[in-house]
Chains A and B, each alone.
Chain A
Amino acid sequence: MAAEQVARPVSSEGGPQTTIETNQQSARGNVVNDFSIQVATVNGSGSQSANLVLLRSIFRMGIPVSGKNLFPSNIAGLPTWYTIRASKDAYIARKKEIDVLIAMNPETWQEDMLSLPPGAVAIYEESANLQQLRGDVACYPVPFDKLTAAVCPEAKLRKLVKNMVYVGIAAHLLKMDMAAVEGALRKQFAKKVKAADLNWAAVQAGYEYASANFTKHDPFVLEPMNETAGKIIIDGNTAAALGCVFAGCTVAMWYPITPSSSLVEGFIDLAKRYRIEESGKSTFAVVQAEDELAAIGAVLGAGWAGARAMTATSGPGISLMAEFAGLGYYAELPGVIFDVQRTGPSTGLPTRNQQCDLLSVAFLSHGDTKHVMLIPGSVKECYEMAQTAFDLAEQLQTPVFVMSDLDLGMNNWMSEPFTYSDKPLNRGKVLSAEDLKRLGGFARYKDVDGDGVGYRTLPGTDHPLAAYFTRGTGHNEKAQYTERPDDYFNNMERLAKKFETARSLVPRPEVVQTGKAKIGVIAFGTSDFATRESRDQLRKEYRLETDYLRIRAYPFTSEIHDFIASHERVYVVEQNRDAQMLSLLKLDVKAEDVVRLRSIRHFNGLPIDARSITDDLVTQEGI
């Protein structure tokens, strides 16, 4: 459709070839600061430290970098892949093609080798003889065990130290700055000087072996840049935890579930450091619950009693929280729930990424229930939206869900440093004993201000008229039990009005308008990075201009409606099978705008990549 408005593609070849052609190459034909490294290991082998050293070394060289851990739902023995992408253009989405493979896992190394694009690099254990499989890959076989044994006399440590040998090999082949590598390594091991020395020896052994034995015959090199100064590296769960600490969260109750556990564990670490008073006493309580039902129950109980309370979970926990979520909506109880989404349904792929809980969370529970969702699209927004969520929950007196995902929550991301908010915490409409004395009483669910939000009191308020009866059964303005049709109807209408108030308070979308594009693209959360990169691909390779909108919350604000109405076709990019965000949009936009909406979905468990979006979009455009 509308093919006449679209330019001819620059290259008709998809995949890796295109990538290499569009790489900016230096005079020597090198690919500088624009490639991905994949380390294939066995989980439980301790490769995480080595991978983080690689990542941080590149960061220290001033080169924009991102890392993704593709790990199994297992503690030891199954294949794990860690992907690092260096990108001079600061693209941080997953790159589909692997340029440099470090194959450390005998179980997968044949398959890993065979999946490489032509012209890639492979570093592997010498005895694997992987060079036999591919004549079109630059091969660097390494006697890992021999090199490791030479620097690590203690046999039981060799499994761990071996990983640092590949850091040294890669450092030499990719021309990394060894001062940056040593700095990253020493930071990684912090005060453990002996461990740092041992690991550094292994890095050096790898480096020396490579310099003595290899003649570089591939184009991939790293050159120092100045793009990371003043930036931080953090994962989304820790960022959200930090947000909770600065939001004045006082109660957390949780049940461990991947990929959300590190959010609460991060909160515990930070709160122990920054939220214990001189007396030695805590200004927070964290409780590990018996299940997610108890976790959400405690959050709502604490919210009812006036605390800023949160829990963190993932899909299966969300399902268990359904009944309480309805109580929270109907009895109007504040609380913050972080949903770090993973691949469902059921247990699904518990260590893989998806944006798949939007529909279930938006309407979580039975009856006419709808919830406010905040959707962070970066680690910085994990931090900021954690704070916004507590304000909104108390302002609106309702549960607020923060929809993160595994990719954002568990992977390390580069970011601008976070900014401090000194705006007072918004604790919402709470009446004190003095207020009650002045007012002579109150009605808990009366819409005094016309925004659908009533005034509440907290247990312990010292006034004979402070108490009211909180219930999930039908209630009137005075919180009294009722089954009267008009009471029920009016209360539900008021709750609907409150949701409209939420629409005016939630974070507004980010909009990138060129003013000329007929095609709009909508994305959210971790689909943002790949979508931005895809828009550049569309512009460069197909001369196709697009406008862009990134959704940051539900209910949808007016900008979202306007954006859809002002474009001929709008592609909604998301990581689930059923086009869940598109479905929510269809319910919300005007009937005549529904036909503008198109869907681009990615749902194989891996984080979405730009090439997949570009290919899908041009196909749908008939280019």
Chain B
Amino acid sequence: MATPPVTSSAETSKAAPKTNRIGLQVLDYRGGKTTLCAGCGHNAISERIIDAFYEMGIQPERLMKLSGIGCSSKSPAYFMSRAHSFNSVHGRMPSIATGALLANHTMQALGVSGDGDTGSIGMGQFVHMLRRNLPIIYIIEDNGVYGLTKGQFSATADIGSKLKTGVINDLPAIDLCAMAIQLGATFVGRSFSGDKKQLLAMLKAAIAHNGTVVLDVISPCVTFNDHEGSTKSYKYMQEHEEAIAEIGFVPYFQEIDVEYDPGTTIDVKMHDGSHLRLRKLHEGFAPTDRVASVSALMAAHANDEVLTGVFYVDTAKPTFTELLNLVDEPLATLPDARVRPGKAVLEEVMQRLM
């Protein structure tokens, strides 16, 4: 059994416990006690994941949590203990997720990775996951450094940023969001672990989406990359975060009670019937246009802004498991009779070979 759920004092009042639409308490979405550093951005992300799945009323047993290796990849142990979890090998979580989803395409999948796990050792599997539009929420907990090996630069570290030791990064950062948009992901956004409201809305929209969701969440490493000269610190993010749009989310099980202004707001109907409402904060914001989205990212980069928000959504593209035209039930548990042809079939094959 996984580590026992941990309760925080806020949830343990004597009154009848608050429950979500499927009758579960937030307690039912908790995980083990975190072993990450106090103040680590990853813990805040785990909290938002708990909130999002609780608020969306997803049965924890219907989720598979997957991760690679690194501080980020340890975090699935710290949320939703009632979901099966797989902490795999460095940079190879997408292939584990691919296999698991082929085995059971009725499950939801949540992948947690880091900037090293995705942008360096895992680049090969990451890009092919994007290309396939595998139905998974893929979160990159992005702090620009390798934490578990004590603070080496990763491939998302900005050029000119400085390590604690004074080493300056002289290579350009890989923009994983721009790459994801170009290579076929169908829901791409960036957020900041410190921006509770935006991250929660984005996660709920991600749950409502069917296809590859890439969320690059800047998540400061308080131990190795939160100093002056870092571009992934809390301070830098507070000064440079620039939202491309304000995110509103109306889940399918709630009445839509607020009208929106089509002149300023883009409404996207999600796969499950939920609505994503994006109020433009930037000129030319066009989240269904790949070229415009990538171009906005490049422009922000040139201005030293860290652009956040949902950059791109495509709700029409078929997912990888849909393309495979599988039977409705999970392949994993089909009965013998449906996966083993009869004796006559073998005899027919033998006849052909004589």
Binding site for B on A (CB under 8 A): 230-234, 242, 245-251, 253, 270, 274-275, 277, 279-285, 287, 289-291, 293-309, 323-324, 327, 417-418, 420, 422, 424-425, 441-444, 457-473, 478-481
Contact = CB atoms under 8 A, between A and B. Distances in A.
B333 A281 contact: no
Contacts of A470: 84-87
19 contacts: A230-B354, A253-B102, A281-B326, A285-B321, A287-B324, A290-B128, A299-B99, A302-B102, A306-B333, A307-B99, A308-B339, A327-B88, A457-B84, A458-B104, A459-B100, A460-B107, A469-B76, A469-B87, A470-B86
Interface residues of B, number: 63
Contacts of B345: 274
Given A306-B332, A323-B89, A285 B102 contact: yes
Nearest to B35: A481
B343 A422 contact: yes
Contacts of B278: none
Contacts of B98: 253, 287, 294, 297-298, 301
Q: Which of B28, B76, B92, B106 has the most CB of A within 10 A?
A: B92
A274 B340 CA distance: 9
Of B128, B321, B346, most buried by chain A (CB within 10 Å of CB) is B346
B102 A307 contact: yes
Interface of A is mostly: loop
B327 A283 contact: yes
Given A232-B350, A275-B341, 7 more contacts: A250-B331, A300-B96, A323-B89, A420-B347, A460-B107, A466-B82, A480-B2
Contacts of A466: 61, 82, 84
Contacts of B97: 301
B350 A417 contact: yes
B82 A298 contact: no
Nearest to A290: B128
B36 to A, nearest CB: 13
Contacts of A250: 102-103, 331-332, 334, 339
B100 A294 contact: no
Contacts of B330: 305-306, 460
Contacts of A245: 341
- A302, A323, A422, A472 interface centre (most CB from chain B within 10 Å): A302
Contact of B125 (A290, A323, A458, A468): A290
A469 B103 CA distance: 18
Contacts of B61: 460-464, 466-467
Interface of B: 1-3, 28, 59-62, 64, 66, 76-77, 81-89, 92, 94-104, 106-107, 124-125, 127-128, 321, 324-328, 330-334, 336, 338-341, 343, 345-347, 349-350, 353-354
Nearest to A417: B350
B2 A469 contact: yes
B51 to A, nearest CB: 20
A245 B340 CA distance: 7
Contact of B338 (A283, A294, A305): A283
Nearest to A412: B353
Nearest to B98: A298
Contacts of A299: 99
Given A234-B353, A297-B95, A481-B77, A465 B1 contact: yes
A242 B89 CA distance: 32
Given A250-B332, A468-B84, A281 B102 contact: no
A324 B98 CA distance: 15
In order of increasing CB-CB distance, the 6 nearest A-B pairs are: A297-B95, A301-B99, A306-B332, A298-B99, A307-B103, A248-B339
A468 B327 contact: no
Contacts of B62: 460
Nearest to A280: B325
Nearest to B352: A232
Contacts of A279: 327
